[in-house]
A = this chain, B = another copy of it.
Amino acid sequence: MKKKKVGVIGATGYTGSEIVRILSQHPGVEIALITSESRAGEKFSDVHPFFQGIVDDILYTADKVDDTDLDLVFLALPHGVSMDYVRRFAGRDFRIVDFSGDFRLASPEIYEQWYPKNHSYPEGFRDAVYGLPELYTDSIRDAKLVANPGCFPTGAILSLAPLVHAGVIKKEGIIIDSKTGVTGAGIKASATNMFSNVNDNFKAYGVKKHRHTIEIQGILENVGGALGPVQFTPHLLPVDRGILTTVYARPDSGGRKLIGAGSGEDPAKTVEASSNGKAKLVELYRDFYRGKPFVRICDNPPTLKDVRASNYCNIYVDYDDRTGNIIVISAIDNLVKGAAGLAVQNMNVMFGFDETMGISHIPVNP
C-alpha cells in the first residue's frame, strides 16, 4: 500500500509533538512536512529533545506547503490562528484536520459570542464536520475539513451522548464537573502552569464561562435535540495528562421507567433499585458504543492512568435511587483521545484505514 503523505502545521506545542509521536509510527502514513513559524530551520528534535535520533526532520515555515505533495494536513495551531490557514488552504487538494476551536461550533455568530475574535473565514463552517467518530463516522469519511473536538467536550459528550440520544434524561439541570491535567493549557509558560502553582494544589477556573460549554451544548443538542443550558465547570489537576469528567443528570419519566427507579424513600429498596438501574444504564451504554473500539464501559469508576497515553475513553455509569440522579464518570488522555489520537482516528476514517490503525497503544500505567 502506498503511504499517504501528511503534514503537521505548528509543531512546537504539546499536540504537535504528540501527533508526530503517533504519526511517525503509523504504518499508513509518511510525515512529509512539519512546520513552525517560530522555530523554522531548526530540527524538530531541537524543539522536543526526546525525539533525538527518532524524528530529526527540519522544521519549515507553512509556506513549504506549496512545494509539498500532501494528502492531509493537521493544523496544530491556536484558536483564532487556524481560521486563517483554513482560508489560505481553501482551494488546495489536501484535506484538513483542525485542532482549534475555530470550526467546531454551529455558526460564526455563536463563535463570536464565546470567542474574543471576529471570525475571518465564516465560509469554512459550511463544510466543517465535527470530528468525533463515535458519533459522526459517515460525515467524517468524506469531509474536506474536520474540526477536531476540544478535550473537555470529547469526555463530556461521550459521557452524555447515550443518554441524550435515547431521550431518557430531563432537558434541564445537567451538571458537568470536569478535572483536567495541565497540558490542556498548552506549552507556553505562565503563572497558571508553573509547577509551584499546580503541584499539591487544585482549583476551579473558567467558572460559568469556559468556551467548551457551548461546544458541549451544541453537539449534545445535535445528537438528542434541544436541552436546557448545561453547567460546565473545569478544574485544574496536578497531573500532566488526563481529563476526568463527572456528570449528573436526572432521568425523565421514560428514563425512570427504563431503569426501574424507585421512590427513593425505602432504604432497603434503594440499594436494589440503584443496582438494577446501574445494570440497565450499562446496557444502554454498551449498545450505544457497540463496535466503537475506543470506548470502554467499566464496572468501576475509571482513573486517569487507566487511559494514559492511549486513545481509550473509559466510561462508568451509575444510578442513585436515593437521590434520583444518574452519575456518569469518564476518563480520557487529553493529548491523545482529547487531541492527537482523536485526530489520527479521524484521519483513519477519512483515508478508509482501519479506525484503530496506529493508535492502539496500551495505556502507560503507572
Contact = CB atoms under 8 A, between A and B. Distances in A.
A240 B200 contact: yes
Contacts of A49: 298, 300, 306
Given A175-B248, A179-B179, A50 B305 contact: yes
Q: How many copies does the complex hold?
A: 4
Given A182-B196, A200-B239, A207-B320, 5 more contacts: A24-B362, A179-B235, A201-B242, A228-B323, A309-B364
Interface string A229-250: 1110101011111101010101
Contacts of A361: 25
Given A199-B200, A237-B238, A304-B203, A208 B318 contact: yes
A233 B327 contact: yes
In this complex, the member of A25, A193, A196, A366 whose beta carbon has the largest number of chain B beta carbons within 10 angstroms is A366
Contacts of A264: 229
A48 interface: yes
Nearest to A268: B113
Interface string A190-207: 110111111111111101
B203 A199 contact: no
Nearest to A365: B50
Contacts of A360: 25
14 contacts: A50-B362, A173-B173, A187-B194, A195-B197, A197-B305, A200-B239, A200-B240, A203-B244, A204-B316, A207-B320, A207-B329, A208-B322, A229-B264, A235-B246
